[in-house]
Structure 1
Amino acid sequence: MRKHPLEQWGALVAGKKGRWITLAFWVLLVAVLSFTLPQINSVESNNAENLPSNAASKEAEKVIKEQFPNDSGIPLLLVWHREGGLNQEDYAKIQKLYKDLESNPVPHQATIPPFGKLPPQALMKSASENGSTLVTPVFFDQKSTTEQLQVGLDDIKKQVKDLDVKTTGSYDNKDELNLRYSGPVGIAIDATGLFKNADFKLLAATVLLVLVLLILIYRSPLLAIIPLIAVGLAYGVISPLLGLMAEQGWIDKDDQAVSIMTVLLFGAGTDYCLFLISKYREVLLKVENRFEAMKISMKESGGAIMMSALTVVIGLATLGLAHYGSFHRFAVPFSFGVLIMGITALVVLPAILVIIGRVAFFPFIPRTEKMAQEVAAKKGKAPKQHAPQHRIGKKVAHLVTGKPWAIIIITVVFLGGLAAFTPKINYTFDLLSSFPDDTNSREGFKLIEDNFSAGELAPMKVVVDTKGKDVNLKEDLEKLSYVGEVAAPQQSEKDKNIQLYEVSLKDNPYSAEALETVPKITKATEGFLKDAKVEDGKVWVGGETASQYDEKETISRDESVILPTMIALIALLLLVYLRSITATIYLVGTVVLSFVAALGAGWIVLHYVLGFDAISGSIPLYAFVFLVALGEDYNIFMISEIWKNRKEGKPHKLAIQEGVIHTGSVITSAGLILAGTFAVLGTLPIQVLVQFGIVTAIGILMDTFIIRPLLVPALTTVMGRYAYWPGKLFKKQ
């Protein structure tokens, strides 16, 4: 009889000779790649844009650069503040710093305003209306990297030390002059610093958490280390290959993507390892020869592991369809990382398990009855009886097959109740909102926000082509209900037909209300041009508000493309694997329901418990991709067991019961570990990762404790033989 392909694969990679060759090959591969290629963390992030070049705000930015060139450079905003009002001594300190910067520029400094030469009264006029806050810029070379900007800022900080200025902590003391570093330079440096400091903390916390959970769950020190070794060997291949891709410019390195990829590898990677380890342990209780046991284990669990990994790989790869840069940059690291991790679980892990043998499970070594009797005889004791396994699993299995409709109604009502909170979620597209409150650049921004009018923070830039007509739209724009002030129009030196209006909104330019004014002001300005008899007059709207509006619209577009594409691809995979249209529909439906419920539950925790006013607009798509792909993982592993039981001729209900029983403990363990690893993101100082970690962890726990053990088997029960329609099992009585 011809052996199953996965059984043959098990014999190849985990045979008596193959196990050593497999392990030696992989270790050598890791060594060669590590010594010849750069690690991904050593490659500099290129700060790629999130918005596509054809976004309206990007086109406006291009026109502004061409028609109103400003070679000043990238601004670092120095935000000076004294509660109660800046005094003469404060202005003298500010002027001294600018005199020093003029005579002794810091590295990569481009230009500075002549504040050192101006009379103090001139500076006072630029202060806030209450006199407490002044913003002064230092411009850096446009081509400077974040590391170069950091060097320049460090030198400025050294010069500030001599001025007796407070740069951290509370700034509400009237006796202290405070300084914060904000603007594009300050924000870029803080963003890089947050991710840089988070990497090691995240890795250490993830490894420690996985190790502790594995020890608590399996009570075997060696078994707890094996999955971590497998993940480490996978990462040893992934990191240099991603480093090569980034160095060659094939992908854009994203620090946030690398951080989350680390979590994903330890979470999903440990899951795949546990799927094989649990099956191997089960087979070792029946088969004495460990090589034969591994072949059987590969045959029975290898297909599910392959399908689970492939589902996640394809699901995450759909991010490559995104127009939003951050989503697009996540596609390759995530999907490639899981692909290599899946290969490692099917190549290296079997070899390691067979090399170590039954000792891997010490002190609870799985033995056949014959082996247990022999060991007991040597010790002069009666053989130990295996403790009854799966007590809770058996109760759950009988409950879901005995009262399936009750389970379906209760779970759907519960999940639906949580999902009802999803429409109430407030979203933000402001990068600074994801920084901790005490981040220097965010504190500086808040000082500007509190002491200057809302619209002055980031005026909207409206550019029009008058087509040669004598037009002034200042008064028209000021009549709009949402507009505060409009500066006098600037005329381009290159094209006299091009005008620029700086429009200050009444609302905070980063608020949701302000974002909605972007299409309004575009349409209104086009109307004003028509009223002025300007035929085919063009309008461009730029600035921070327009940029965030485009970000919102781009993310919305990506959701409309990626979500259905991902569902369709995963459904196709399930259909090919299970040969059942019915099962494909309800398996996909349950994880989508779980995602919507997780989003609602996440909002309850983030808003009503932790006090977040809004969450990042990117969270829904990130959460969807991860939760649907990873949630389907568990469904596939359990449903594979049910299908296997049915093929062996077991009755429908018994097949479901044994499927729930035999996969219950391993999926519960895997789910706890995966949820725990994502929850680690909640310890980081970056709020967008905190939000993502909490929503994803909640969703995984729902999949683990509601969808997989209750809803899916209950649905499979009520479907009867139609659960297998139209495959061969449908016809099987």
Structure 2
Amino acid sequence: MGKLMANLLESISHFVAGKRTKWITLVVWILLTGVLSVALPGVNQKEDNNAANLDSQQPSVQATLLAEQEFPSEAGLPALLVWKRDGGLLDEDYENLQKLTAYFTQNPVEGQKLVVPFDRIPLPALKQQASEDGSAIVLPFFFDKSTDSDQIKAGVAKIQEQAKAEFGSDPFSVKLDEQGQLSARVSGPAGVSLDAVGLFSNADVTLLMATVLLVLVLLLLIYRSPILAIIPLIAVGFAYGVTSPILGKMADLGWITVDSQAISIMTVLLFGAGTDYCLFLISRFRQLLKEEDDKTKALVRAFKDSSGAIAMSGFTVVMALLVLLFAKYGAVHRFAIPFSLSILIMGIASLTLVPALLAIFGRVSFFPQIPRTPEMEAERARENGKTQPKIVKSNKKVGNWIGKIVTKRPWMVVVVTLVLLGAFAMNTFRIEYTVDIMSSFPEESPSREGFAVIAEKFTPGELAPVKLMVDTQGSEVPLKEAFSDLPYLSKVSDITQGKNNSNIHAVDLEFSMNPYSNEAMKHIPDIRSVAVQVLKDAGITSPEDKVWVQGLTSTQYDTEETNARDQQVIIPIVIGLIAILLLVYLRSIIAMIYLILTVVLSYFSALGLGWFVLHDVMGASAIQGLIPLYAFVFLVALGEDYNIFLISSIWKKRKSMPLKEAIREGVSETGGVITSAGLILAGTFAVLATLPIQVLVHFGTICAIGVLLDTFIVRPLLVPAITMLLGKWAFWPGTAEGKAQRVEHSQAK
């Protein structure tokens, strides 16, 4: 199998570097990208940001279906217009609100189902609807539940435009704390949905431009060659050009669902990981151009030396990302295909398009610092009338120094790095998690500002009450009385009966706290438990199956439970899968074990250090519950890339030199390229931290920190030091010995 793969890679190298076939390779990529882009829809055209995240088996989903059947609401999806004036609302404000509702009663916007008729409520009664201090009031507009986000956006825009006409100014642009001025914000489920779509749609272009600019600047700083800086970007561009229409067609056929968040992170992944794969080949090519006169021979050798590690690294990431298909939570499940397909196509581009471009440009790729053999440098010096060629200083000083440290003092290196990483990892016990979607919005988002006013001026539970439904089976059940005195509830409605089944009774419960908070979410089991006990006291059999809790708080509770389940399933599968791939590639059980353990330790260290930065430095109160799983899959899969590249170099050198020298040479040889690749990958993740979406800020920060820990601690220090301490056992059950070791052992005897 290994020989077959080697022959295949050698055939590919000769084809993509051939005199004519390099052009054929380039033309094939151009035609493939062009045809797919014209024939198939782009993935951005098929985004569905309203796709369900919970499956039909979840209790909150079943409760929602029952509520729609037995207690259908004529209202629809609410957009809560929150009006506030410090010092108290004026009579003029109430009158203008009455004019506004009268206008939209007569002239409804598209998708509008209902607006509360303030115009039919006498002014004294309307004032009773305001907050206790009379400074705020909420005007609900209801849209049909089938209305899409674009229609809601257009409808809200018309409402804001008409409000500006009625009030003579724009209250939606006034700051909430502006003394004496009337301000307005759109909150509620419709407002939250609008803010979410708006943030992600605006993030796409910003993210793409920032990522391209960052990668270009880093490549220019690292290689100081404008041509070489563009080659990886060309490869990434072609990979995206092929990936996007394929994903778009798959979404069009209903095979997959894609959303803005997945596409945003996929873009970052393509630039970061894709550039890394390109650098592994480019770095080796530059080294060999100093040894080989023939650029084609140098490129073929570079391809043979690096393609195995590139292919293995890419395949590891693809397989790890495919494991996300086992996730039950929709937002995680939807990541699997876009991420894995983009990395697969990027890997193919790295092994075909990039060497073809290098073959076309040759040594000019590195202009103005063109690598040449000593003979070529001497000839160039003679042509310029110089007796001696210019001496190019080695850039491996740092790598050589690190190589000496890890081979001379491996115990010290292991102890120090383990203590440092362990200290970071201990901080994970302090992390606070949340599934509150509004916490991921910037504080100045309209929906979040509107909710803050509701929470301050009204009972916050009014924003998102939960509906408790029970099957009484005809028995008398004191449902309202059972919940009226609970401290975590501020209001319990009267009992209503089901439309189709009169035995189904329901009450609406309002929390005395933020209904999106973890505190409220933890009371969902309490509510269910109280209802079960009430049914049991009424003599109803199997009461556990006759209780349903519907509402956003219940949905969040199921989200947290589903996230916990996904982590328990996916993390062991990813570890096991990567372990198998490492075992097949390295043929060493010991190496597989310590490489997995170091990357897992690096992940927990990144999570702990990331929380310190996010919480103690940036002031975040919690991170989204999905982030640990996202970060784990990315950091473990991508972190193993660097280990594979380093260990591959050590394994090869071990066949021709003692282990100590192999480690020293391996660290020195791969140090520059892995450091460059790590900086670029960390930089692309850090771009996410510049966006206004907190979930991406937190994810990007933790992943960037994790990549930097892998780049500067785990890969150059911990892994080679452990390899040095283990000695020949690092290769067990193999030996990886060549002539040098056999001579060494013979002399020792």
Structure 1: how far apart are the matches of 2:711 and 2:726?
A: 22
1:441-471, Cα deviation, whole Å (9 max, x unpaired): 1111111111112333322221110011021
Question: 2:91 — aligned with what?
Answer: 88
Question: 1:104 — aligned with what?
Answer: 107
Go from structure 1 to structure 2 and tell me whether the alpha carbon gap of 1:505 and 1:104 turns closer, same or farther (over 3 Å shift): closer
Instruction: Tell me, yes or no, if structure 1 residue 686 matches structure 2 residue 693.
Output: yes
Note the 1:385-404 alignment, pairs <5 A: 385-404=391-410
Structure 2: how far apart are the matches of 1:202 and 1:504?
A: 40
**Does the 8 A contact of 2:296 with 2:359 survive in 1?**
yes
Q: Deviation of residue 379 (structure 1)?
A: 1.5
**What is the SS of the residue equivalent to 1:634?**
helix
1:657-707, Cα deviation, whole Å (9 max, x unpaired): 111010000000000011011101111011111111111100000000000
Question: 2:384 — aligned with what?
Answer: 379
Structure 1: how far apart are the matches of 2:212 and 2:425?
A: 32
Question: 1:715 — aligned with what?
Answer: 722
**What is the SS of the residue equivalent to 1:167?**
helix
**Does the 8 A contact of 1:109 with 1:139 survive in 2?**
yes
Instruction: Tell me, yes or no, if structure 1 residue 545 matches structure 2 residue 548.
Output: no
Structure 1: how far apart are the matches of 2:737 and 2:555?
A: 54
Note the 1:434-513 alignment, pairs <5 A: 434-513=440-519
Structure 2: where are the runs of 5+ without partners? 743-749
Structure 1: how far apart are the matches of 2:305 and 2:185?
A: 61
**Does the 8 A contact of 2:482 with 2:530 survive in 1?**
no
Q: Deviation of residue 525 (structure 1)?
A: 1.2
Note the 1:51-130 alignment, pairs <5 A: 51-130=54-133
1:416-456, Cα deviation, whole Å (9 max, x unpaired): 11111101101111111111111111111111111112333
**TM-score where L is the length of structure 2:** 0.96
Structure 2: how far apart are the matches of 1:421 and 1:651?
A: 40
Question: 2:746 — aligned with what?
Answer: none
Instruction: Tell me, yes or no, if structure 1 residue 431 matches structure 2 residue 437.
Output: yes
Go from structure 1 to structure 2 and tell me whether the alpha carbon gap of 1:542 and 1:165 turns closer, same or farther (over 3 Å shift): same
Greater displacement, 504-513 / 666-675:
504-513
**Does the 8 A contact of 2:43 with 2:248 survive in 1?**
yes
**Does the 8 A contact of 2:232 with 2:274 survive in 1?**
yes
Give the AA of the match of 2:218.
Answer: L
**What is the SS of the residue equivalent to 2:142?**
strand
Give the AA of the match of 1:532.
Answer: A
Structure 2: how far apart are the matches of 1:480 and 1:112?
A: 33
1:558-596, Cα deviation, whole Å (9 max, x unpaired): 000110100100111000000001000110100100010
Structure 2: how far apart are the matches of 1:23 and 1:230?
A: 10
Instruction: Tell me, yes or no, if structure 1 residue 572 matches structure 2 residue 580.
Output: yes
**What is the SS of the residue equivalent to 1:612?**
coil
Question: 2:149 — aligned with what?
Answer: 146
Question: 2:608 — aligned with what?
Answer: 600
Return the match for 1:274 from 271, 279, 283: 279
**Does the 8 A contact of 2:279 with 2:673 survive in 1?**
yes
Instruction: Tell me, yes or no, if structure 1 residue 696 matches structure 2 residue 703.
Output: yes
1:499-549, Cα deviation, whole Å (9 max, x unpaired): 111122233222222211111221221011111212233101111211111
Instruction: Tell me, yes or no, if structure 1 residue 673 matches structure 2 residue 676.
Output: no
Give the AA of the match of 1:710.
Answer: L
Structure 2: how far apart are the matches of 1:197 and 1:310?
A: 32
Give the AA of the match of 1:581.
Answer: I
Q: Deviation of residue 14 (structure 1)?
A: 1.6
**TM-score where L is the length of structure 1:** 0.98
Q: Deviation of residue 174 (structure 1)?
A: 4.3
**What is the SS of the residue equivalent to 1:353?**
helix
**What is the SS of the residue equivalent to 2:184?**
strand
Return the match for 2:45 from 23, 35, 42: 42
**What is the SS of the residue equivalent to 1:47?**
coil
**Does the 8 A contact of 1:183 with 1:441 survive in 2?**
yes
Give the AA of the match of 1:216.
Answer: L
Instruction: Tell me, yes or no, if structure 1 residue 302 matches structure 2 residue 310.
Output: no
**What is the SS of the residue equivalent to 2:352?**
helix
**Does the 8 A contact of 1:375 with 1:383 survive in 2?**
yes
**What is the SS of the residue equivalent to 2:368?**
coil
Give the AA of the match of 1:242.
Answer: L
Structure 2: how far apart are the matches of 1:74 and 1:579?
A: 58
Instruction: Tell me, yes or no, if structure 1 residue 337 matches structure 2 residue 342.
Output: yes
**Does the 8 A contact of 1:472 with 1:489 survive in 2?**
no
Structure 1: how far apart are the matches of 2:174 and 2:677?
A: 42
Q: Deviation of residue 728 (structure 1)?
A: 4.2
Structure 2: how far apart are the matches of 1:654 and 1:341?
A: 34
Question: 1:289 — aligned with what?
Answer: 294
**Number of aligned residues:** 732
Return the match for 1:525 from 512, 531, 536: 531
Question: 1:14 — aligned with what?
Answer: 17
Structure 1: how far apart are the matches of 2:261 and 2:61?
A: 23
**Does the 8 A contact of 1:53 with 1:59 survive in 2?**
yes
Structure 2: how far apart are the matches of 1:53 and 1:129?
A: 41
**Does the 8 A contact of 2:88 with 2:135 survive in 1?**
yes
**Does the 8 A contact of 2:88 with 2:134 survive in 1?**
yes
Question: 1:420 — aligned with what?
Answer: 426
Question: 2:159 — aligned with what?
Answer: 156
Return the match for 2:520 from 489, 498, 514: 514
Structure 1: how far apart are the matches of 2:216 and 2:377?
A: 29
Percent same amino acid among aligned pairs?
A: 54
**Does the 8 A contact of 1:323 with 1:558 survive in 2?**
yes
Structure 1: where are the runs of 5+ without partners? none
Go from structure 1 to structure 2 and tell me whether the alpha carbon gap of 1:326 and 1:476 turns closer, same or farther (over 3 Å shift): same
Q: Deviation of residue 125 (structure 1)?
A: 2.3
Structure 1: how far apart are the matches of 2:414 and 2:23?
A: 49
**Does the 8 A contact of 1:46 with 1:252 survive in 2?**
no
**What is the SS of the residue equivalent to 2:481?**
helix
**Does the 8 A contact of 1:722 with 1:730 survive in 2?**
no
Structure 2: how far apart are the matches of 1:4 and 1:367?
A: 29
Q: Deviation of residue 391 (structure 1)?
A: 0.5
Give the AA of the match of 1:417.
Answer: A
1:30-60, Cα deviation, whole Å (9 max, x unpaired): 1111111111122242510111221111111
Structure 1: how far apart are the matches of 2:569 and 2:133?
A: 49
CA RMSD of aligned residues (A): 1.5
Q: Deviation of residue 388 (structure 1)?
A: 2.3
Structure 2: how far apart are the matches of 1:369 and 1:220?
A: 21
**Does the 8 A contact of 2:285 with 2:299 survive in 1?**
yes
Runs of 4+ in 1 over 6 A off after TM superposition: none
Greater displacement, 634-643 / 449-458:
449-458
Greater displacement, 41-50 / 176-185:
41-50
Q: Deviation of residue 608 (structure 1)?
A: 0.6
Structure 1: how far apart are the matches of 2:141 and 2:300?
A: 67
Q: Deviation of residue 730 (structure 1)?
A: 6.9
Return the match for 1:640 from 648, 659, 668: 648
Greater displacement, 79-88 / 627-636:
79-88
Return the match for 1:256 from 239, 261, 269: 261
**Does the 8 A contact of 1:80 with 1:178 survive in 2?**
yes
Give the AA of the match of 1:709.
Answer: P
Give the AA of the match of 1:661.
Answer: S
**Does the 8 A contact of 1:274 with 1:670 survive in 2?**
yes
Question: 1:661 — aligned with what?
Answer: 668
Q: Deviation of residue 481 (structure 1)?
A: 4.0
Return the match for 1:582 from 576, 586, 590: 590
Give the AA of the match of 2:561.
Answer: E
1:114-161, Cα deviation, whole Å (9 max, x unpaired): 222221233222222222221121122222211111111111121111
